[in-house]
Amino acid sequence: MNRYKRIVLPGGTKVVTEEIPHVRSCTVGLWLNAGSRWESPKINGISHFIEHLVFKGTESRTARKIAEEIDEVGGYLNAVTTKDYTCYYAKVPDRCMRLAVDIICDIACRPLLAESDITKEKGVIAEEIAMYEDSPEEVVHDLLASTAWGPCALGLPTLGSLKTLKSLGRDDIVKYMSEHYVTEGAVISAAGNIKHDEVVEEVNKRLDLSRRKMKSPTTSKWKPGAQAFRSKAIEQAHLCIGYEAFNRNHPDRFGLYVLDVAFGGGLSSRLFQKLREDRGLVYST
C-alpha cells in the first residue's frame, strides 16, 4: 500500500498516484463531477456534449495538434462520460507523463468552444444517438432507469436526446463548465513509472479550473412497481427487471456482488444455464 499516495491541493483537487517502477508507461486521468445525474431535463446530455467539444481545440492547440502530439509518442487519449462523472485520460510512455498532464489540463481548462465546432459536433452526437437507438440491449437499461428514477438525475440518459441536443447553446455550455469543471471534487489520478511529487508539481502548474463551490447533484427517489414498454420491429425482446438494493457503502454489498455472479454473471450462472443451455429460450442473460 505504500505505493499509493494522495494529497489534496488548496483548491480541493485530489491528486492520487500509484508508483509502479517496473513498467515503462503511465496513465493519467482527470475525473470531474459532470455527468447526467448532475443535469436538469432541459440540458440533458450537456456533460457528454462537452466531452466531445473540448477535443476540438484549445487556446494553444488545434484538434489536429492534440492528436499529433499524443500519436507522436505512441500514446492514447480519450474520455468517458457516465451518470456520475466525466473522465479525461491519457496512456503514454513514462517519460511523457508531463505531456499527458499538460494536454488533459489544456482541453479541460482552456477549450475554445467555437460556434462552428458546436454546430458540427451536434451532427456527430445525433449520429451517436441514432446508433444507440439501434442497440435495444442498451436502450432497455435507460428505459429501466427513467422508469425507476423518473425524468431527472439518475433517470436521465447520458447521451441526452435530439431535442435537448438541438437546444444547447454556447452560453449553456460555458455556464455548465463554470459550475462543474471546478477544483473542489476533481481528482487527478496517475499510475505507472511516475513520481508522486512530479505529478503534483505538474498539476499545480497546469490545472486551472474554477474555484467555485461544487454543486450537489439532484436526488431521485426509487419508484417500486413502475413498468415501461417500448415496441420496435426487431427479432428479439429485451427484458430488464430492477430492484432497489444497497448503496455503495453498505457492508452487505459484497454479498450482493457474489449473488450477482452466481445468479447471472457467467456461463455457469443459474440464469445462463436454465434459460439458454437447458431451455434454449435466449441468446444471452
Question: Any bridge partners for residue 76, and if so which?
Answer: 91
The x, y and z cell numbers of residue 221, run together, are: 427517489
8 Å CB contact between 111 and 54: yes
Judged by DSSP in three states, 18 sits in: strand
Which residue in the list 18, 19, 39, 51 is annotated as catalytic? 51
* CA–CA distance, 188 with 57 (Å, rounded to integer): 21
The x, y and z cell numbers of residue 169, run together, are: 447553446
**Is residue 121 among the annotated active site residues?**
no
Q: To the nearest 5 percent, what fractions of the chain are helix, strand and coil?
A: 45, 15, 40
The x, y and z cell numbers of residue 194, run together, are: 511516475
Q: Which residue has the cell 460556434?
A: 115
Nearest to 138 by CA among 152, 158, 124: 158
Residues 6+ apart with CB under 8 A from 20: 3, 191, 192, 193
Cite the active site residues: 51
